[in-house]
Structure 1
Amino acid sequence: MAPAPPVSGLTTAAVRAIQALGNGQAGRADQIADRLAEAIRLGLIAPGERLPSEATLSEQLGVATLTLREALATLRERGLVVTRRGRAGGSFVARPAGGPHSRSGHADLTVRQLRELGDLRLAVFGTAAALAARRATPPEIETLRRRAARLAAAETAAERRQADAEFGVAVALAAQSPRLTQEEANLRAEWGDLTWTLLGDVGHAEAVRGRLALVDAIGAGDPERARRLAERQVTDEVELLIRWRVGVYRTEAEQ
Protein backbone atom coordinates (compact mmCIF):
# COMPACT_ATOMS: atom_id res chain seq x y z
CA MET A 1 0.00 0.00 0.00
CA ALA A 2 1.46 3.36 -1.06
CA PRO A 3 2.06 5.94 1.68
CA ALA A 4 -0.37 8.81 1.95
CA PRO A 5 0.81 12.10 0.48
CA PRO A 6 2.20 14.60 2.97
CA VAL A 7 -0.27 17.15 4.28
CA SER A 8 0.41 20.80 3.60
CA GLY A 9 1.62 22.67 6.66
CA LEU A 10 0.43 26.06 5.37
CA THR A 11 -1.29 27.54 8.41
CA THR A 12 -4.02 30.15 8.64
CA ALA A 13 -1.46 32.56 10.08
CA ALA A 14 0.81 31.96 7.09
CA VAL A 15 -2.07 32.58 4.68
CA ARG A 16 -2.94 35.83 6.46
CA ALA A 17 0.69 36.90 6.34
CA ILE A 18 0.92 36.11 2.62
CA GLN A 19 -2.22 38.17 2.04
CA ALA A 20 -0.70 41.01 4.06
CA LEU A 21 2.36 41.03 1.81
CA GLY A 22 0.04 42.42 -0.84
CA ASN A 23 -1.79 44.78 1.53
CA GLY A 24 -4.88 42.59 1.29
CA GLN A 25 -5.24 42.94 -2.49
CA ALA A 26 -5.80 39.90 -4.67
CA GLY A 27 -3.37 40.92 -7.41
CA ARG A 28 -2.35 39.60 -10.80
CA ALA A 29 -0.50 36.36 -11.40
CA ASP A 30 2.91 38.05 -11.25
CA GLN A 31 1.96 39.78 -7.98
CA ILE A 32 0.81 36.49 -6.47
CA ALA A 33 4.08 34.87 -7.60
CA ASP A 34 6.09 37.66 -5.96
CA ARG A 35 4.05 37.36 -2.75
CA LEU A 36 4.54 33.59 -2.55
CA ALA A 37 8.25 33.98 -3.35
CA GLU A 38 8.61 36.45 -0.49
CA ALA A 39 6.73 34.08 1.82
CA ILE A 40 9.19 31.31 0.87
CA ARG A 41 12.16 33.58 1.56
CA LEU A 42 10.58 34.62 4.85
CA GLY A 43 10.16 30.98 5.87
CA LEU A 44 6.36 31.07 6.12
CA ILE A 45 6.45 28.15 3.69
CA ALA A 46 9.28 25.77 4.53
CA PRO A 47 11.62 24.02 2.05
CA GLY A 48 10.13 20.68 1.03
CA GLU A 49 6.64 21.68 2.16
CA ARG A 50 3.75 20.75 -0.11
CA LEU A 51 1.43 23.58 -1.02
CA PRO A 52 -2.33 23.12 -0.77
CA SER A 53 -4.16 22.10 -3.93
CA GLU A 54 -4.66 24.80 -6.55
CA ALA A 55 -8.35 25.02 -5.72
CA THR A 56 -7.70 25.37 -1.99
CA LEU A 57 -4.80 27.84 -2.27
CA SER A 58 -6.60 30.02 -4.82
CA GLU A 59 -9.59 30.21 -2.45
CA GLN A 60 -7.33 31.05 0.52
CA LEU A 61 -5.61 33.85 -1.40
CA GLY A 62 -8.82 35.13 -2.98
CA VAL A 63 -7.76 34.67 -6.61
CA ALA A 64 -8.97 32.67 -9.57
CA THR A 65 -7.52 29.18 -10.03
CA LEU A 66 -6.12 30.21 -13.43
CA THR A 67 -4.34 33.17 -11.82
CA LEU A 68 -2.78 30.90 -9.19
CA ARG A 69 -1.77 28.36 -11.84
CA GLU A 70 0.09 31.08 -13.75
CA ALA A 71 1.76 32.23 -10.52
CA LEU A 72 2.95 28.68 -9.76
CA ALA A 73 4.33 28.38 -13.28
CA THR A 74 6.37 31.54 -12.64
CA LEU A 75 7.68 30.10 -9.36
CA ARG A 76 8.69 26.89 -11.15
CA GLU A 77 10.63 28.96 -13.70
CA ARG A 78 12.42 30.71 -10.81
CA GLY A 79 13.32 27.36 -9.27
CA LEU A 80 11.35 28.08 -6.09
CA VAL A 81 8.68 25.41 -6.60
CA VAL A 82 8.78 21.92 -8.06
CA THR A 83 5.75 19.91 -9.18
CA ARG A 84 5.52 16.13 -8.92
CA ARG A 85 2.92 13.84 -10.41
CA GLY A 86 1.17 10.87 -8.84
CA ARG A 87 -0.78 10.19 -5.65
CA ALA A 88 1.92 11.75 -3.47
CA GLY A 89 2.47 14.55 -5.94
CA GLY A 90 1.66 18.23 -5.94
CA SER A 91 3.59 21.49 -5.80
CA PHE A 92 6.44 21.62 -3.29
CA VAL A 93 8.78 24.38 -2.15
CA ALA A 94 12.22 23.64 -3.58
CA ARG A 95 14.97 22.83 -1.10
CA PRO A 96 18.04 25.12 -1.12
CA ALA A 97 21.15 23.63 -2.67
CA GLY A 98 23.60 25.08 -0.15
CA GLY A 99 24.44 24.35 3.47
CA PRO A 100 22.79 25.56 6.65
CA HIS A 101 23.96 29.16 6.17
CA SER A 102 23.11 29.37 2.46
CA ARG A 103 19.76 31.09 3.03
CA SER A 104 21.04 33.57 5.59
CA GLY A 105 20.16 37.11 4.59
CA HIS A 106 23.00 38.56 6.69
CA ALA A 107 25.96 36.21 6.25
CA ASP A 108 27.90 38.91 4.36
CA LEU A 109 26.80 41.94 6.40
CA THR A 110 29.32 43.96 8.41
CA VAL A 111 28.88 44.69 12.11
CA ARG A 112 27.73 48.22 11.27
CA GLN A 113 25.17 46.92 8.76
CA LEU A 114 23.89 44.40 11.30
CA ARG A 115 23.40 47.21 13.83
CA GLU A 116 21.58 49.38 11.29
CA LEU A 117 19.27 46.54 10.30
CA GLY A 118 18.71 45.79 13.98
CA ASP A 119 17.79 49.44 14.61
CA LEU A 120 15.12 49.23 11.92
CA ARG A 121 13.79 45.98 13.37
CA LEU A 122 13.67 47.60 16.83
CA ALA A 123 11.51 50.41 15.47
CA VAL A 124 9.15 48.17 13.52
CA PHE A 125 8.72 45.22 15.88
CA GLY A 126 8.69 47.37 19.03
CA THR A 127 5.98 49.61 17.58
CA ALA A 128 3.98 46.63 16.33
CA ALA A 129 4.08 45.02 19.79
CA ALA A 130 2.98 48.25 21.51
CA LEU A 131 0.11 48.76 19.07
CA ALA A 132 -0.91 45.10 19.38
CA ALA A 133 -1.21 45.60 23.16
CA ARG A 134 -3.68 48.41 22.45
CA ARG A 135 -5.59 46.86 19.55
CA ALA A 136 -5.39 43.06 19.55
CA THR A 137 -8.67 41.18 19.70
CA PRO A 138 -9.10 38.06 21.87
CA PRO A 139 -8.91 35.76 18.79
CA GLU A 140 -5.67 37.45 17.72
CA ILE A 141 -4.18 37.00 21.20
CA GLU A 142 -5.14 33.32 21.08
CA THR A 143 -3.46 33.09 17.65
CA LEU A 144 -0.28 34.52 19.18
CA ARG A 145 -0.38 31.87 21.92
CA ARG A 146 -0.72 29.15 19.28
CA ARG A 147 2.19 30.61 17.32
CA ALA A 148 4.34 30.65 20.48
CA ALA A 149 3.33 27.05 21.22
CA ARG A 150 4.32 26.05 17.71
CA LEU A 151 7.71 27.66 18.23
CA ALA A 152 8.08 25.77 21.51
CA ALA A 153 7.38 22.46 19.75
CA ALA A 154 9.69 23.14 16.78
CA GLU A 155 12.81 20.97 16.77
CA THR A 156 14.98 21.96 13.83
CA ALA A 157 16.46 25.38 13.03
CA ALA A 158 14.29 25.60 9.90
CA GLU A 159 11.11 24.77 11.83
CA ARG A 160 11.99 27.31 14.53
CA ARG A 161 12.69 30.00 11.98
CA GLN A 162 9.37 29.39 10.27
CA ALA A 163 7.43 29.35 13.53
CA ASP A 164 9.12 32.52 14.77
CA ALA A 165 8.50 34.27 11.46
CA GLU A 166 4.81 33.43 11.77
CA PHE A 167 4.84 34.71 15.36
CA GLY A 168 6.45 38.02 14.38
CA VAL A 169 4.09 38.63 11.51
CA ALA A 170 1.13 37.66 13.73
CA VAL A 171 2.19 40.39 16.20
CA ALA A 172 2.17 42.93 13.36
CA LEU A 173 -1.22 41.66 12.18
CA ALA A 174 -2.56 42.11 15.72
CA ALA A 175 -1.39 45.73 15.55
CA GLN A 176 -4.04 46.23 12.82
CA SER A 177 -1.49 47.92 10.55
CA PRO A 178 -1.00 46.58 7.02
CA ARG A 179 2.08 48.76 6.51
CA LEU A 180 3.75 47.53 9.69
CA THR A 181 2.90 43.97 8.69
CA GLN A 182 4.51 44.52 5.30
CA GLU A 183 7.64 45.99 6.91
CA GLU A 184 7.88 43.18 9.47
CA ALA A 185 7.54 40.57 6.71
CA ASN A 186 10.20 42.31 4.61
CA LEU A 187 12.60 42.56 7.53
CA ARG A 188 12.06 38.92 8.50
CA ALA A 189 12.93 37.92 4.94
CA GLU A 190 16.07 40.10 4.96
CA TRP A 191 17.11 38.95 8.43
CA GLY A 192 17.56 35.37 7.24
CA ASP A 193 17.79 32.16 9.26
CA LEU A 194 21.26 32.20 10.78
CA THR A 195 19.91 33.23 14.19
CA TRP A 196 18.17 29.90 14.74
CA THR A 197 21.20 27.99 13.49
CA LEU A 198 23.31 29.70 16.18
CA LEU A 199 20.86 29.65 19.10
CA GLY A 200 20.72 25.92 19.88
CA ASP A 201 18.28 24.29 22.29
CA VAL A 202 19.07 26.48 25.31
CA GLY A 203 18.66 29.66 23.30
CA HIS A 204 15.46 28.25 21.80
CA ALA A 205 13.98 27.69 25.27
CA GLU A 206 14.89 31.23 26.33
CA ALA A 207 13.39 32.65 23.14
CA VAL A 208 10.12 30.78 23.74
CA ARG A 209 9.90 32.23 27.26
CA GLY A 210 10.40 35.69 25.81
CA ARG A 211 7.66 35.19 23.20
CA LEU A 212 5.24 33.91 25.85
CA ALA A 213 5.99 36.93 28.05
CA LEU A 214 5.31 39.19 25.08
CA VAL A 215 1.96 37.53 24.45
CA ASP A 216 1.08 38.01 28.12
CA ALA A 217 1.92 41.72 27.88
CA ILE A 218 -0.17 42.11 24.74
CA GLY A 219 -3.04 40.19 26.34
CA ALA A 220 -2.81 42.41 29.45
CA GLY A 221 -3.01 45.53 27.30
CA ASP A 222 0.40 46.78 28.51
CA PRO A 223 1.98 48.56 25.50
CA GLU A 224 5.13 49.74 27.31
CA ARG A 225 6.01 46.26 28.56
CA ALA A 226 5.16 44.77 25.17
CA ARG A 227 7.50 47.23 23.47
CA ARG A 228 10.33 46.51 25.93
CA LEU A 229 9.99 42.75 25.49
CA ALA A 230 9.85 43.01 21.70
CA GLU A 231 12.91 45.26 21.63
CA ARG A 232 14.78 42.88 23.95
CA GLN A 233 14.16 40.03 21.52
CA VAL A 234 15.60 42.02 18.63
CA THR A 235 18.54 43.27 20.72
CA ASP A 236 19.43 39.73 21.80
CA GLU A 237 19.41 38.55 18.18
CA VAL A 238 21.55 41.47 17.02
CA GLU A 239 24.11 40.84 19.78
CA LEU A 240 24.21 37.12 18.91
CA LEU A 241 24.87 37.87 15.24
CA ILE A 242 27.49 40.50 16.00
CA ARG A 243 29.37 38.02 18.21
CA TRP A 244 29.20 35.52 15.36
CA ARG A 245 30.40 38.09 12.82
CA VAL A 246 33.34 39.17 15.04
CA GLY A 247 34.27 35.50 15.43
CA VAL A 248 34.28 35.11 11.65
CA TYR A 249 36.55 38.17 11.32
CA ARG A 250 38.99 36.70 13.85
CA THR A 251 39.04 33.33 12.12
CA GLU A 252 39.70 34.96 8.75
CA ALA A 253 42.49 37.10 10.25
CA GLU A 254 44.21 34.02 11.70
CA GLN A 255 44.21 32.15 8.39
Structure 2
Amino acid sequence: MVSANEALFRPVRAGNAFEETVERLLQAIRLGVVGAGERLPSERELAERLGVSRVTLREAIRALADAGYVVSRRGRYGGTFVSEVLPEPAARATAAVDAAAFEDALCLRYVLETGAAEAAAARTLSPGDRQHLTGTLAEAEAAGLGDYRRRDARLHLAIAEVTASGSLTTAVADARTRVSQLLDRIPLLEPNLEHSNAQHEAIVDAILAGDPEAARQAMAEHVEGTASLLRAFLA
Protein backbone atom coordinates (compact mmCIF):
# COMPACT_ATOMS: atom_id res chain seq x y z
CA MET A 1 0.00 0.00 0.00
CA VAL A 2 1.28 3.46 -0.93
CA SER A 3 0.21 5.81 1.85
CA ALA A 4 -1.32 9.25 1.36
CA ASN A 5 1.33 10.46 3.80
CA GLU A 6 4.01 9.47 1.30
CA ALA A 7 2.05 10.88 -1.62
CA LEU A 8 1.51 14.29 -0.01
CA PHE A 9 4.91 14.76 1.60
CA ARG A 10 6.79 14.53 -1.69
CA PRO A 11 9.49 16.94 -2.93
CA VAL A 12 8.26 20.41 -3.84
CA ARG A 13 9.45 22.47 -6.79
CA ALA A 14 12.28 24.87 -6.08
CA GLY A 15 10.64 27.99 -7.48
CA ASN A 16 7.89 28.26 -4.86
CA ALA A 17 9.30 26.19 -2.03
CA PHE A 18 7.64 28.12 0.81
CA GLU A 19 4.22 28.29 -0.84
CA GLU A 20 4.22 24.64 -1.87
CA THR A 21 5.38 23.55 1.57
CA VAL A 22 2.43 25.39 3.12
CA GLU A 23 0.13 23.80 0.52
CA ARG A 24 1.37 20.24 1.22
CA LEU A 25 1.07 20.64 4.99
CA LEU A 26 -2.43 22.09 4.65
CA GLN A 27 -3.44 19.26 2.31
CA ALA A 28 -2.34 16.71 4.89
CA ILE A 29 -4.33 18.49 7.60
CA ARG A 30 -7.50 19.25 5.63
CA LEU A 31 -7.68 15.77 4.11
CA GLY A 32 -7.26 14.15 7.52
CA VAL A 33 -3.93 12.46 6.74
CA VAL A 34 -2.66 14.01 9.98
CA GLY A 35 -5.64 14.28 12.29
CA ALA A 36 -6.59 16.85 14.90
CA GLY A 37 -4.22 16.63 17.85
CA GLU A 38 -1.76 14.40 15.99
CA ARG A 39 1.91 15.17 15.61
CA LEU A 40 3.46 16.04 12.28
CA PRO A 41 6.64 14.20 11.31
CA SER A 42 9.79 15.75 12.73
CA GLU A 43 11.29 18.83 11.10
CA ARG A 44 14.25 16.82 9.85
CA GLU A 45 12.03 14.17 8.28
CA LEU A 46 9.67 16.70 6.72
CA ALA A 47 12.50 18.79 5.31
CA GLU A 48 14.09 15.71 3.75
CA ARG A 49 10.84 14.40 2.30
CA LEU A 50 9.72 17.76 0.93
CA GLY A 51 13.20 18.60 -0.33
CA VAL A 52 13.32 22.00 1.40
CA SER A 53 15.62 23.62 3.91
CA ARG A 54 14.83 23.56 7.62
CA VAL A 55 14.53 27.35 7.44
CA THR A 56 11.84 27.16 4.74
CA LEU A 57 9.99 24.44 6.63
CA ARG A 58 10.03 26.44 9.87
CA GLU A 59 8.69 29.50 8.05
CA ALA A 60 5.84 27.40 6.65
CA ILE A 61 5.05 25.89 10.06
CA ARG A 62 5.11 29.34 11.65
CA ALA A 63 2.64 30.60 9.05
CA LEU A 64 0.29 27.70 9.76
CA ALA A 65 0.64 28.26 13.50
CA ASP A 66 -0.25 31.94 13.07
CA ALA A 67 -3.33 30.86 11.10
CA GLY A 68 -4.38 28.43 13.84
CA TYR A 69 -3.76 25.11 12.08
CA VAL A 70 -0.85 23.83 14.17
CA VAL A 71 0.73 24.35 17.58
CA SER A 72 4.35 23.80 18.54
CA ARG A 73 5.31 22.27 21.87
CA ARG A 74 8.72 22.10 23.49
CA GLY A 75 10.25 19.42 25.63
CA ARG A 76 10.81 15.69 25.45
CA TYR A 77 7.39 15.03 23.94
CA GLY A 78 7.32 18.20 21.91
CA GLY A 79 6.98 18.82 18.22
CA THR A 80 4.42 20.32 15.87
CA PHE A 81 0.84 19.15 16.39
CA VAL A 82 -2.32 19.73 14.40
CA SER A 83 -4.67 21.95 16.40
CA GLU A 84 -7.46 20.12 18.23
CA VAL A 85 -9.95 22.63 16.81
CA LEU A 86 -9.17 23.80 13.29
CA PRO A 87 -10.10 27.23 11.95
CA GLU A 88 -13.52 27.37 10.36
CA PRO A 89 -13.46 27.43 6.56
CA ALA A 90 -13.86 30.88 5.13
CA ALA A 91 -17.46 32.01 5.05
CA ARG A 92 -19.24 30.72 1.98
CA ALA A 93 -18.16 32.95 -0.83
CA THR A 94 -20.66 34.93 -2.79
CA ALA A 95 -18.39 35.36 -5.78
CA ALA A 96 -19.37 33.41 -8.86
CA VAL A 97 -17.61 30.11 -9.46
CA ASP A 98 -15.63 29.83 -12.66
CA ALA A 99 -17.81 27.42 -14.64
CA ALA A 100 -14.98 25.80 -16.61
CA ALA A 101 -12.81 25.23 -13.54
CA PHE A 102 -15.81 23.92 -11.61
CA GLU A 103 -16.72 21.31 -14.22
CA ASP A 104 -13.05 20.44 -14.70
CA ALA A 105 -12.70 19.64 -10.99
CA LEU A 106 -15.82 17.46 -10.97
CA CYS A 107 -14.83 15.61 -14.15
CA LEU A 108 -11.33 14.91 -12.87
CA ARG A 109 -12.67 13.64 -9.57
CA TYR A 110 -15.14 11.33 -11.32
CA VAL A 111 -12.49 9.76 -13.55
CA LEU A 112 -9.89 9.34 -10.80
CA GLU A 113 -12.11 8.10 -8.00
CA THR A 114 -14.20 5.66 -10.02
CA GLY A 115 -10.96 4.30 -11.45
CA ALA A 116 -9.42 4.05 -7.99
CA ALA A 117 -12.39 2.09 -6.65
CA GLU A 118 -12.24 -0.28 -9.61
CA ALA A 119 -8.48 -0.75 -9.28
CA ALA A 120 -8.71 -1.34 -5.52
CA ALA A 121 -11.35 -4.03 -6.02
CA ALA A 122 -9.23 -5.72 -8.69
CA ARG A 123 -6.28 -6.19 -6.30
CA THR A 124 -5.73 -8.97 -3.82
CA LEU A 125 -5.78 -6.87 -0.67
CA SER A 126 -3.59 -7.63 2.31
CA PRO A 127 -5.08 -7.87 5.80
CA GLY A 128 -3.56 -4.45 6.47
CA ASP A 129 -5.26 -2.99 3.38
CA ARG A 130 -8.61 -4.40 4.45
CA GLN A 131 -8.24 -3.11 7.98
CA HIS A 132 -7.26 0.32 6.64
CA LEU A 133 -10.45 0.50 4.58
CA THR A 134 -12.78 -0.70 7.32
CA GLY A 135 -11.08 1.54 9.89
CA THR A 136 -11.37 4.72 7.85
CA LEU A 137 -14.95 3.80 6.95
CA ALA A 138 -15.84 3.46 10.63
CA GLU A 139 -14.20 6.80 11.42
CA ALA A 140 -16.21 8.53 8.68
CA GLU A 141 -19.44 6.99 9.90
CA ALA A 142 -18.73 8.07 13.50
CA ALA A 143 -17.66 11.63 12.61
CA GLY A 144 -19.68 14.59 13.77
CA LEU A 145 -20.65 17.49 11.57
CA GLY A 146 -17.52 19.46 12.44
CA ASP A 147 -15.13 16.70 11.38
CA TYR A 148 -17.16 14.90 8.74
CA ARG A 149 -15.59 16.31 5.61
CA ARG A 150 -12.04 15.52 6.72
CA ARG A 151 -13.02 11.96 7.66
CA ASP A 152 -14.85 11.62 4.36
CA ALA A 153 -11.78 12.80 2.46
CA ARG A 154 -9.59 10.40 4.43
CA LEU A 155 -11.74 7.44 3.40
CA HIS A 156 -11.52 8.41 -0.26
CA LEU A 157 -7.75 8.66 0.05
CA ALA A 158 -7.66 5.24 1.72
CA ILE A 159 -9.34 3.74 -1.34
CA ALA A 160 -6.62 5.24 -3.53
CA GLU A 161 -3.91 4.06 -1.12
CA VAL A 162 -4.91 0.39 -1.36
CA THR A 163 -4.49 0.47 -5.14
CA ALA A 164 -0.74 0.54 -4.35
CA SER A 165 -0.25 3.28 -6.96
CA GLY A 166 1.60 6.27 -5.59
CA SER A 167 0.82 8.34 -8.68
CA LEU A 168 -2.89 7.64 -8.37
CA THR A 169 -2.91 8.44 -4.66
CA THR A 170 -1.18 11.75 -5.34
CA ALA A 171 -3.63 12.59 -8.13
CA VAL A 172 -6.66 11.73 -5.98
CA ALA A 173 -5.30 13.85 -3.11
CA ASP A 174 -4.83 16.84 -5.41
CA ALA A 175 -8.26 16.40 -7.01
CA ARG A 176 -9.91 15.96 -3.63
CA THR A 177 -8.35 19.20 -2.41
CA ARG A 178 -10.04 21.06 -5.27
CA VAL A 179 -13.40 19.46 -4.50
CA SER A 180 -13.01 20.13 -0.77
CA GLN A 181 -12.56 23.82 -1.51
CA LEU A 182 -15.90 23.73 -3.32
CA LEU A 183 -17.59 21.73 -0.57
CA ASP A 184 -16.48 24.31 2.00
CA ARG A 185 -18.73 26.80 0.20
CA ILE A 186 -21.96 24.84 0.71
CA PRO A 187 -23.77 23.76 3.88
CA LEU A 188 -23.59 20.29 5.40
CA LEU A 189 -26.97 18.59 5.07
CA GLU A 190 -27.60 15.81 7.59
CA PRO A 191 -29.81 13.67 5.29
CA ASN A 192 -27.06 13.78 2.70
CA LEU A 193 -24.51 12.62 5.28
CA GLU A 194 -26.63 9.58 6.09
CA HIS A 195 -26.95 8.79 2.39
CA SER A 196 -23.23 9.38 1.88
CA ASN A 197 -22.35 6.95 4.67
CA ALA A 198 -24.55 4.27 3.10
CA GLN A 199 -22.83 4.81 -0.24
CA HIS A 200 -19.41 4.65 1.40
CA GLU A 201 -20.33 1.30 2.88
CA ALA A 202 -21.45 -0.01 -0.50
CA ILE A 203 -18.17 1.10 -2.10
CA VAL A 204 -16.01 -0.51 0.57
CA ASP A 205 -18.10 -3.70 0.57
CA ALA A 206 -17.62 -4.04 -3.20
CA ILE A 207 -13.87 -3.47 -2.92
CA LEU A 208 -13.53 -6.02 -0.12
CA ALA A 209 -15.59 -8.49 -2.14
CA GLY A 210 -13.23 -8.09 -5.09
CA ASP A 211 -15.95 -6.83 -7.44
CA PRO A 212 -14.41 -4.10 -9.64
CA GLU A 213 -17.57 -3.31 -11.61
CA ALA A 214 -19.74 -2.96 -8.50
CA ALA A 215 -17.07 -0.81 -6.84
CA ARG A 216 -16.87 1.46 -9.87
CA GLN A 217 -20.66 1.80 -10.10
CA ALA A 218 -21.03 2.50 -6.37
CA MET A 219 -18.33 5.17 -6.51
CA ALA A 220 -19.87 6.71 -9.65
CA GLU A 221 -23.24 7.03 -7.92
CA HIS A 222 -21.58 8.60 -4.90
CA VAL A 223 -19.51 11.23 -6.72
CA GLU A 224 -22.42 12.08 -9.02
CA GLY A 225 -24.54 12.79 -5.93
CA THR A 226 -21.91 15.16 -4.58
CA ALA A 227 -21.65 16.83 -7.97
CA SER A 228 -25.41 17.37 -8.03
CA LEU A 229 -25.31 19.13 -4.65
CA LEU A 230 -22.41 21.32 -5.72
CA ARG A 231 -24.18 22.29 -8.94
CA ALA A 232 -27.35 23.06 -7.02
CA PHE A 233 -25.60 25.47 -4.68
CA LEU A 234 -22.82 26.87 -6.81
CA ALA A 235 -23.45 26.49 -10.54
Which TM-score band applies after superposition, normalised by the shorter structure? 0.7 to 0.9
Q: Give the Å deviation of 1:242.
A: 0.7
Q: Give the Å deviation of 1:119.
A: 1.0
The answer as to 2:15 corresponding to 1:20 is no
SS at match of 2:72: strand
- Say if 1:111 and 1:245, in contact at 8 Å, map to a contact too: no
SS at match of 1:91: strand
TM-score by length of 1: 0.70
**1:28-177 to 2 correspondences below 5 Å:** 35-45=24-34, 49-52=36-39, 70=55, 72-80=57-65, 81-84=70-73, 90-93=79-82, 95-96=86-87, 99-101=90-92, 108-138=96-126, 139-157=128-146, 159-177=147-165
Q: Provide closer, same or farther for how the CA distance between residues 240 and 53 of structure 1 changes in structure 2, counting only shifts above 3 A.
A: closer
Which range is displaced more, 193-202 or 180-189? Answer: 193-202
Q: Give the Å deviation of 1:191.
A: 1.3
Structure-1 separation of matches of 2:22 and 2:182 = 25
SS at match of 1:133: helix
The answer as to 2:211 corresponding to 1:226 is no
TM-score by length of 2: 0.75
Q: Give the Å deviation of 1:99.
A: 4.1
1:249 aligned residue: none
1:192 maps to amino acid: S
2:174 aligned residue: 186
1:6 aligned residue: none
Q: Give the Å deviation of 1:146.
A: 1.0
Which of the two has higher C-alpha Rg?
1
- Say if 1:26 and 1:62, in contact at 8 Å, map to a contact too: no
**Alignment RMSD:** 3.8
- Say if 1:121 and 1:187, in contact at 8 Å, map to a contact too: yes
Q: Give the Å deviation of 1:169.
A: 1.0
- Say if 1:44 and 1:166, in contact at 8 Å, map to a contact too: yes
Q: Deviation digits for residues 29-58 of structure 1, max 9, x if unmatched?
A: 978665323313434345xx3342765x86
**1:207-246 to 2 correspondences below 5 Å:** 207-246=196-235
Q: Give the Å deviation of 1:178.
A: 1.0
- Say if 2:3 and 2:166, in contact at 8 Å, map to a contact too: no
Q: 1:205 aligns with which of 194, 204, 215?
A: 194
Structure-2 separation of matches of 1:175 and 1:38 = 20
Structure 2: where are the runs of 5+ without partners? none
Structure-1 separation of matches of 2:53 and 2:145 = 30
Structure-1 separation of matches of 2:59 and 2:120 = 36
SS at match of 2:176: helix
SS at match of 1:176: coil
1:242 maps to amino acid: R
